[in-house]
Amino acid sequence: MQVEARPASDAPPEADVVAVPVGPSGVPENATSLDDVSRVAEEEELAEHAGRTAVLYPDGPARRIVLVGLGPAEELDADTIRTAAAEVAGAAERVKGTLAWLLDDSLPHSEQARAIVDGLLLGSYDPGRWKSDAKAEPPFERLVLVGGSDELVEQAERAATVAEAANRARDLANTGANELTPERLADHAAELAAQHENLTVDSLGPDEFTKLGMGAFAGVAQGSHNPARMIVLRYEPPSPKGDVLLGLVGKAITFDTGGISIKPALYMEDMKGDMSGGGAVIEGIGVVAELGLPVRTLAVVAASENAVGGGAYRPGDSLTAMNGKTIEITNTDAEGRLVLADALHYARELGATHLVDFATLTGAMNRAFGDLYAGVMGNDDAWRDEVVAAGEASGDHAWPWPMHRRYRSLIDSAFADMKNSSVRGQAQPTYAASFLEEFVGEGPWAHVDIAGTAFFTWPRNDYLSQKGGTGYGVRLIAELATKLSA
């Protein structure tokens, strides 16, 4: 989507669709010359209802004028603008062409520009690309920010780059496990790396990761006919800033049956989205490379199925992780922390100074926060808070959780160094993070539990109104890398 900026003018903008936000102060001053806009905005009470739209069919150059409400001032934020933009795209979905958006004074123009692009691209995403009549087209070919300066263009174009990467991560999450095997995900990472000069990829197969001692990852992988892959991507910018090597680690269970501790049949089809953390990490490092950010970045993605079969690992088994620690298996459906154990240790061994992992790890996180916030835990409060701040600034909402040493006792085992789950229903997201902490080594680490935010069983009533993958984590990664390279 091409982006332009033009100064405000009394003359109606030349565009196929003109978007007029109606905020607490009414319609923007540069919209008063448009016929009937003020009257319709008042009659439809748009200022009081965020996301409500009214469509006008003018005689002038525009084919449509879409008025969209921003709601009361105390509730107006970037998410409001994102949702408004998604509603505009929906109201004018058959027009296409050029959209002119009249900027107002509701939020700083830079924040508005990013949110508008997010709403247009993320809000118009269609998960039904396997339908016979599917069309993968952007909502508009060109966006004109009316009343903005030229410096907004770069920010809006950056937002478009990130949003498009998030939509690619959504495609990965929505792809059936018959198509997106661990090998195919590794191929996708290789295709992505080939597009960027400073991005390289390596993919470890079963012989290689078993030789390295990744017994926890191999244990999960051994039940599937589709071979697992430990995918490693490296981004080396030509002129890096600072000594940070950002380590991104992703859980990519391309389908999760639960193993012998099998899941209920209801909604099991959504378990194709259990690789959402890995998909976000792959597309996240890809967008870091595409933006040319001067921060060295490493991605380690543990890609496997968790299958039921004669070769599957069992409750009661003991696995030895890459760092030498032993794990009693008490629940084969707690496989995510096992694959992450070896991936985290490997990322640190490869030189990552600052780690952050993304995983659809615990159903309890979904029950606690629903589909709006991810929970963030870690061994360093300052690093955890930096990850949370990146999420909030980007639209990938995150909230800090405590990590007290006493939670570690919930995974004590009589037979091994630890067990992979507890039958007690207490503090499940935190004791899962306590398990991961055993494998992160020295240095800052943050764990982002995206169980509720990464894949929707039911649509959300905002700009992310589609079932399936959300691309959660891509925007957070881009924001975090940007801050680290500042």
pLDDT one-digit tens code per residue, 228-258? 999 999 999 999 999 999 999 999 999 999 9
β partners of residue 3: 143
* Per-residue pLDDT at 12: 77
pLDDT above 90 covers a percentage of the chain that reads 90
Confidence of residue 96 (pLDDT cuts 50, 70, 90): confident
Q: Is the dihedral of CA 169, 75, 48, 60 positive or negative?
A: negative
Mean per-residue pLDDT, 66-88: 97
Rounded (5°) CA angle 165-167-169: 75
More confidently predicted of 410 and 13: 410
DSSP alpha helices (H): ranges in 175-237?
Answer: 182-193, 206-211, 215-221
User: With 90 as the cut, is the pLDDT of residue 138 above it?
Assistant: no
pLDDT above 70 covers a percentage of the chain that reads 100
Going edge to edge, which strands form the sheet with 17-22?
Answer: 2-6, 142-146, 98-102, 17-22, 64-69, 53-56
* Per-residue pLDDT at 40: 94
Nearest C-alpha neighbor of 233 from the set 290, 157, 155: 290
Confidence of residue 206 (pLDDT cuts 50, 70, 90): very high
Q: Catalytic annotation on 263?
A: yes
Q: Which of 261-265, 290-294, 409-413, 424-428 has the lowest mean pLDDT?
A: 424-428
**What CA–CA distance (Å, rounded) separates 186 from 233?**
10
* Per-residue pLDDT at 403: 93
**What CA–CA distance (Å, rounded) separates 413 from 20?**
61
* Per-residue pLDDT at 29: 83
Confidence of residue 425 (pLDDT cuts 50, 70, 90): confident
Neighbouring C-beta atoms of residue 386, cutoff 10 Å: 20
Mean per-residue pLDDT, 259-276: 97
**What CA–CA distance (Å, rounded) separates 311 from 402?**
38
Q: Catalytic annotation on 131?
A: no
Catalytic residue among 64, 158, 170, 337: 337
Rounded (5°) CA angle 261-263-265: 145
User: With 90 as the cut, is the pLDDT of residue 133 above it?
Assistant: no
Catalytic residue among 6, 263, 325, 408: 263
Mean per-residue pLDDT, 203-231: 98
Residue pair 10/24 in contact by the 8 Å Cβ criterion: no
Query: 445 — alpha (psi -120 to 50), left (phi > 0) or beta?
Result: beta
- Kindly state the tokens that stand for 425: 């229903």
Cβ neighbors of 293 (< 8 A, separation 6 or more) are 237, 481, 482, 485
pTM: 0.97
What is the DSSP code (8-state) at residue 13? Answer: P
* Per-residue pLDDT at 13: 84
The residue type of 76 is L
* Per-residue pLDDT at 219: 98
DSSP string, 141-162: SEEEEET--THHHHHHHHHHHH
* Per-residue pLDDT at 396: 98
Mean per-residue pLDDT, 342-350: 98
Confidence of residue 355 (pLDDT cuts 50, 70, 90): very high
Confidence of residue 354 (pLDDT cuts 50, 70, 90): very high
* Per-residue pLDDT at 386: 98
Confidence of residue 154 (pLDDT cuts 50, 70, 90): very high
* 3-class secondary structure, 22: strand
